[in-house]
Amino acid sequence: MLTLEKFEEASEIVKRVTRPTKLIYSEYLSSQTGGKVYLKPENMQYTGAYKLRGAYYKISTLSEEDRAKGLITASAGNHAQGVAYAAKAFGCKATIVMPTVTPLIKVNRTKSYGAEVVLHGDVYDDACAKAYELAEEYGYTFVHPFDDLDVATGQGTIAMEIVQELPTVDYILAPIGGGGLITGVSTLAKMLNPKIKVIGVEPAEAASMTAAIEAGHTVTLPSANTIADGTAVKKVGEQNLPYVMENVDQIVTVEDDELVGAFLDMVENHKMVVENSGLLSVAALKQLDLKGKKVVSILSGGNMDVITMSSVVQHGLIQRDRIFSVSVLLPDKPGELVKVAQTIAEEQGNVIKLEHNQFVSINRNAAVELRVTLEAFGTDHKNRIIAALEAAGFRPKLISAKLY
């Protein structure tokens, strides 16, 4: 059972290893939603995510004998770092099984805390099966990333901090992977104030909690293919589901494209790096009627490797028409390229890349192709540039934008 006494105990214990993550008021998101939106920046924790809370509290409840056996877990990255950090604090060995597709930054940071890392499988569920095998073989103590009520209790300490800092909070939004975070947060929030509405958010391509609630029991999805790797879980925790069904008011799903936009919003407006899973609670805001409400979005983590970050930024800029490409056909004679460049310059377009193809047509006097990749201020500006090219007689054709 999850009890208020346990939550209070956990809230004191996790303070030994957590950094205070005070709420950040978001003027931008508040203006977008009509409510007062605050961010709970768990991406600023020592390990870059909230997972340290549940891992440390769980390990604190283990006997000396169980800790001495060595700990093992499976994780897509954030729980891995939480267990590794907590194990180091308690002076015990930790082995972490991670999916082979885990971002390098998460793998390296897990190793930096002294844990042994084993890479196995494509998703969390594959890694978890391997971790159970190793636990059986070597006698390790398994620390489950979400299907454990002590872990959920540790994660729920976030709700204690939110309510203490913002007692009149109306909505709390939290990402859902396996369900540990939403279980702890929703249960404690309802204990402290039953009027608080708790909204869970899942990636649309890994909506395992939604599927479980519809079925009335946990189910295994055929796949969990999403850029929100930290919540790419095929099956939620058995122990979590009853608490979620009782305490969570609504679950919404978010498409990967929406996370790309949310990443840009967070970087540009708050100067913060938040991983895709941590952005679920931000991307979901637009789906809710929050006018006049006080809302807290939990940013669950910020462990994102630079290559992924670069890809997300590129896709975000293209998605918002701040980068686009056009193809124009020109006679193969001197001065034509200058005319195109002049037309673009007059509309304040910024050329990023040019490709000049003389072999698009057998009759080079009739046409050569010029592909131009441009930077714009947004959709309106892009449309003005295209209209100017059309007015100049170039007949521009929009093509897929690529920066490489």
- The predicted structure's pLDDT at residue 359: 65
Angle (CA) 160 162 164, round 5°: 65
47, pLDDT greater than 80: yes
Give 334's pLDDT tier (boundaries 50, 70, 90). confident
In the predicted model, what is the mean pLDDT of residues 42-67? 95
Of 341, 345, 349, give the one whose Cα is nearest residue 321.
Answer: 349
In the predicted model, what is the mean pLDDT of residues 283-294? 97
4-50+148-316: which CATH topology? Answer: Rossmann fold (3.40.50)
Token couple for 36: 């007062």
Burial of 142 (0-12, 13-18, 19+ CB in 10 A): middle
Is residue 26 annotated as part of the catalytic site, yes or no?
no
- The predicted structure's pLDDT at residue 211: 96
CA dist., res. 384 & res. 133, Å (int): 61
351, pLDDT greater than 60: yes
Q: Is 279 helix (H, G, I), strand (E, B) or coil?
A: helix
Domain ranges of the chain: 4-50+148-316, 51-142, 321-399
Give 9's pLDDT tier (boundaries 50, 70, 90). very high
51-142: which CATH topology? Answer: Rossmann fold (3.40.50)
Is residue 300 annotated as part of the catalytic site, yes or no?
yes
Give 34's pLDDT tier (boundaries 50, 70, 90). very high
In the predicted model, what is the mean pLDDT of residues 190-210? 97
CA dist., res. 394 & res. 24, Å (int): 49
- The predicted structure's pLDDT at residue 361: 59
pLDDT above 70: percentage of residues in the chain: 97
The pLDDT mean for the chain works out to 92
| Identical fold between 51-142 and 321-399 | no
Give 192's pLDDT tier (boundaries 50, 70, 90). very high
First to last CA, the chain: 54
> Which residues are bridge partners to 357 per DSSP?
369
Give 362's pLDDT tier (boundaries 50, 70, 90). low
Class of domain 321-399 (CATH, top level): alpha beta
Other beta carbons less than 10 A from residue 372's beta carbon: 25
Token couple for 105: 């930054």
305, pLDDT greater than 90: no
CA dist., res. 210 & res. 243, Å (int): 14
Query: Dihedral of CA 90/96/98/100: which sign?
Result: positive
Amino acid at 176: I
pTM of the model: 0.88
Annotated active-site residue in 51, 58, 130, 382: 51
